[in-house]
Amino acid sequence: MLLKNIASMGGLNLFRSAIQFLMNIVLAGFVSPSEYGLVVFTLPFITFISMLTDLGLSSSIVRHPDLTRQQAGGVVTLVLTAGAACAAVLAMASFSIQSATGLAGLQPIMMAMSGIVVLSIVATPPRALLERQLNYPLIARVEGAAVTFSALVSVVAVFQGAGIWALVLYNGLMQALRMVFFLYFARDAFVLNWVWKTLGPMLSFGGWVMLANILTFAARNGQNVLIGVWLGAAEVGLFGLAYQFMLVPLMIIAWPASSVLLATLSRYRNEPSHFERTVCATCAITAALSFPAMGYFVFGLQYPLTTFMSPKWHSIPSIVSWLAPLGAVQAIAAYNGVILLAKGEAKLQFWTGVIGSGLTLIVFVVSLPFGLMALVKAYVLTGFFIAAWFLGIAVRKAKLRFRKILISLCPGVSAAIAGLVAVELARPLHVDALWSWLGLSLLYGAVVLATFVLMRNQLLPYWRELISERAANTTVVSEQGVA
């Protein structure tokens, strides 16, 4: 079932996010924002290498109609070679990057993370092979086990005085375990070889996917580099941690759902009514989960974060309160790419990404001189506009009815608004005391639940639609064929 596969991956990301959140809380008691900012500053470079060396081939593996074991093995060796070369270049450039940015202590962190990225790259093709087999429960078990074991070891390292290196250890150990287990469980689906000439069609399709992914990456991660260079490591640490909260609905719901949804929509590309119902149902459930959650983040994180984190981090709740609504909206807009790819519009996805990423980076550059909070507010306002524009393009190209999409969002949006209104009316309780925080949290949850009960006739049909869906056979090819 579509819903079962989404639930497997969503549950994994929920668990992983919870573990990482707890790790960040523990780390915050032992490291400063400046130290944390060194890792946050490094991550965009690492993510870029991962995306660049993947070459879009993981998506090609999932969707290629007649993938052979030799082709799959060629993908593994190709991404390994490209990844190792790029990681070596980054490691050699780390001293120059530290000198150019003035971020003391950056070089050793960047060199260590350069080696770790190779492990991540090698794990990608065998993981995609398991996705091709729709073996999402196995993927979830592997990822969950790797995250759990790595987190436990890293927390022990924190208490042993490892400092920020505990976070590096977490990433390294997790990626090593992922690589070993994915290679083992997918071993029958590939034969290692160095013959790459048969990968032409896969590279052609994957190239457009890679370019679109790089643009999304630039919009989401380029800000860390800009903030680090202009405002310093402490500010990039604050923004980086707050940004993780904004990504919660994307990480837990939208991104896991996207890969499963793409296969399903590809099967129904010639059935407009079924296509539209599936999109609306996915948007409705995503909104029902993400909008109330992000609505709670607007006020509900103030007490726990200010209580359990040092005063150096106390500006995090105010940043999160601005970013949280955008996170909910972006969880819906994230399906823009899935819809366009299912309709054979890979190039359009790329060019919309060009404009969206360019606009985001321009806003960052213009707002940086006015400080971190000015940047956050400008980013949120721009993000709302871009999300609406992206979704509008996808709806138009897929010939969907925008009114239907908006109606599907109503239960989730209404529940969040009702909950926030109730909390605002009870503001005399204040949220900076334990019992007041608990009371407001319970009030918000009760109002959200009551809203869903009142709107159950609008929400339940979407739930039934997802339950009735069967995940698409991954050997089905969309009309776009090779880009």
For the chain, helix, strand, coil in percent to 5 are 85, 0, 15
Please tell me the predicted confidence (pLDDT) of residue 56: 67
Lowest mean pLDDT among 35-44, 50-59, 343-352: 50-59
In a domain, 4, yes or no: no
What per-residue confidence (pLDDT) applies to 482? 26
CB-based contact 117:179 (threshold 8 Å): no
Residue 277: predicted pLDDT: 86
User: Is 3 inside any structural domain?
Assistant: no
Both 416 and 392 in one domain: the answer is yes
Whether residue 201 sits in one domain with residue 349: no
**Is residue 286 within a helix (H) or strand (E), and if so which, with residue range?**
helix 272-300
Q: Which of 201, 232, 263 is the last residue of a domain?
A: 232
Q: Which of 130-134, 138-142, 233-237, 426-430 has the lowest mean pLDDT?
A: 426-430
Residue 256 and residue 211 share a domain: no
98 belongs to a structural domain: yes
DSSP string computed for 314-365: TTHHHHHHHHHHHHHHHHHHTHHHHHHHHTT-HHHHHHHHHHHHHHHHHHHH
Residue 225 covered by a domain: yes
Most confident of 18-22, 354-358, 379-383: 379-383
pTM score of the predicted model: 0.65
Q: State residue 477's pLDDT score.
A: 32
- Tell me: do 332 and 207 sit in the same domain: no
pLDDT averaged over every residue in the chain: 80
Q: Are residues 82 and 186 in the same domain?
A: yes
Tokens 């790797």 sit on residue: 146
CA distance linking residue 291 with residue 248, whole number of Å = 11
Largest CA distance in the chain: 69
pLDDT over threshold 60, residue 34: yes
418 with 343, same domain: the answer is yes
Rounded CA-CA distance 42/113 in Å is 8
State the DSSP string of 413-449.
HHHHHHHHHHHHHTGGG-SSSHHHHHHHHHHHHHHHH
Express each pLDDT in 256-281 by its tens digit: 778 777 666 766 767 788 888 888 98
Distance set, CA 468 to CA 1, 3, 120, 462, 471 (Å): 7, 8, 35, 10, 10
Torsion of CA 103, 105, 24, 294, to 10 degrees: 20
Any domain includes 5: no
> Mind listing the pLDDT tens digit for each residue in 163-174?
888 888 888 999
pLDDT band, very low/low/confident/very high, at 475 (cuts 50, 70, 90): very low
* Boundary of a domain, candidates 177, 208, 232: 232
- 222 inside domain: yes
The reply to whether 222 and 316 lie within a common domain is no
Quick one: pLDDT band at residue 222, thresholds 50, 70, 90?
low
Q: How far apart are CA 250 and CA 387, in angstroms?
A: 13
State the amino acid at position 148 in one-letter form: T
Pair (182, 283) in one structural domain: no
6 domain residue, yes or no: no
Higher pLDDT, 222 or 404: 404
- 143 and 73 co-located in one domain: yes
* Weakest-pLDDT range from 4-18, 233-247, 332-346, 426-440: 4-18
52 CB contacts (<8 Å, ≥6 apart)? 82, 86, 210, 214
Claim to verify: residue 48 and residue 123 sit in the same structural domain: yes
> Could you read off the pLDDT of 51-106 as tens digits, one per residue?
666 666 676 676 666 778 888 888 888 888 888 888 888 888 888 888 887 777 88
The upper half-sphere exposure of residue 285, i.e. CA atoms within 13 Å in the direction of its Cβ, equals 23
What would the pLDDT profile of 439-457 be if each residue is shown by its tens digit? 889 999 999 999 999 999 9
* Domain contains 483: no
Structurally, how many domains does the chain consist of? 2
Domain end call among 209, 232, 255? 232
Separation CA 268–CA 106 (nearest Å): 49
pLDDT at 104: 79
Say if residue 304 is in the same domain as residue 440: yes
3-class secondary structure, 65: coil
Do 188 and 327 fall into the same domain?
A: no
Most confident of 88-92, 354-358, 466-470: 88-92
Q: Is the pLDDT of residue 479 over 50?
A: no
Tokens of 289: 């989960």
The boundaries of the domain holding residue 160 are: 31-232
pLDDT value at residue 97: 85
